[in-house]
Amino acid sequence: MFTEEWGALSLPDRRRIRRMVRIGRLPEDPGEARLAEAFADFQRTRLWWRMFWLWFVPGLLLALGVASTIHPIVIGIVLASGGQAILVRRNTTRIARQAAPA
């Protein structure tokens, strides 16, 4: 089971696998690649992931509204953070789809 295998990993290994999934790459080791695919698939089942667009768009618009009252650089920071969130979602979905049977 994924949660048991994931819990048995050391903290640095879990961080490394999470980081690899977020950037859209599989680890070289086949065992770790399988865990990365399972991790990505597990993340896609989470409620916050399934409701991403429901909370992301209003949150981004709210953050842009607040940022526009502060400084133009803050607007850029908010947009960059939003772009990063979308890239992580895309990369994680891509890794999870690799795990799905063809």
The sign of the CA dihedral 34, 30, 19, 4 is positive
pLDDT at position 1, please? Answer: 79
pLDDT band at 2 (very low <50, low <70, confident <90, very high): confident
Q: For 50-65, what is each residue's pLDDT tens digit?
A: 999 999 999 999 999 9
Entry pTM = 0.83
Distance of CA 61 to the CA centre of its chain: 20
* Domain residue ranges of the chain, discontinuous segments joined by +: 2-99
pLDDT at position 97, please? Answer: 87
